[in-house]
């Protein structure tokens, strides 16, 4: 069964410190992995996806198939990074059965 696990409900980090939000997944095939972010009073939006290998707002995430992880990292936290972060997986057979599954989310709180 497809499953996304985010072990931390809340992560508090001081401004300027490194950030790592953990995400582990369970999937038998080759999934697409995403990180979505929800800032206060804004829509949920895509932050980055593993296939693009981009750095967005200083964040990066590497897919580790051996450990089935897709942790989100940023070397120096900024106050505007405070938000709710969701790891997501898209998988299933191509076509009608494909779906997007989300983890429970981690609230990142950047301390001044």
Partner 1 sequence: DGGITQSPKYLFRKEGQNVTLSCEQNLNHDAMYWYRQDPGQGLRLIYYSQIVNDFQKGDIAEGYSVSREKKESFPLTVTSAQKNPTAFYLCASSIQDRAEAFFGQGTRLTVV
**Nearest-approach distance from CB 58 to partner 1, in angstroms:** 20
The pairs formed by 91-97 with CB atoms below 8 angstroms and a separation of 24 or more are: 91/2, 91/27, 91/29, 91/30, 91/31, 91/32, 92/2
**What's the residue count for the chain?**
112
Q: Which is nearer to partner 1, 36 or 70 (CB)?
A: 36
**Nearest-approach distance from CB 94 to partner 1, in angstroms:** 6
Q: Nearest 10 degrees: CA dihedral of 78, 109, 33, 93? A: -150
Q: Which is nearer to partner 1, 25 or 103 (CB)?
A: 103
In the complex, the residues that contact partner 1 under the rule CB under 8 A are: 6, 9, 32, 34, 36, 43-46, 49, 86, 88, 90-92, 94-105
Q: Which is nearer to partner 1, 49 or 74 (CB)?
A: 49
């Amino acid at each position: 069964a497809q499953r996304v696990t985010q072990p931390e409900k809340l992560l508090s980090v001081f401004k300027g410190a490194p950030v790592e939000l953990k995400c582990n997944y369970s999937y038998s095939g080759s999934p697409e992995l995403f990180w979505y972010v929800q800032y206060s009073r804004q829509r949920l939006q895509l932050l980055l996806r593993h296939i693009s290998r981009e750095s967005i707002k200083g964040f990066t995430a590497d897919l580790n198939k051996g450990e089935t992880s897709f942790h989100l990292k940023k070397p120096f936290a900024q106050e505007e990074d405070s938000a709710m972060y969701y790891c997501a997986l898209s998988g299933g057979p191509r076509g009608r059965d494909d779906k997007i599954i989300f983890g429970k989310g981690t609230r990142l709180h950047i301390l001044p």
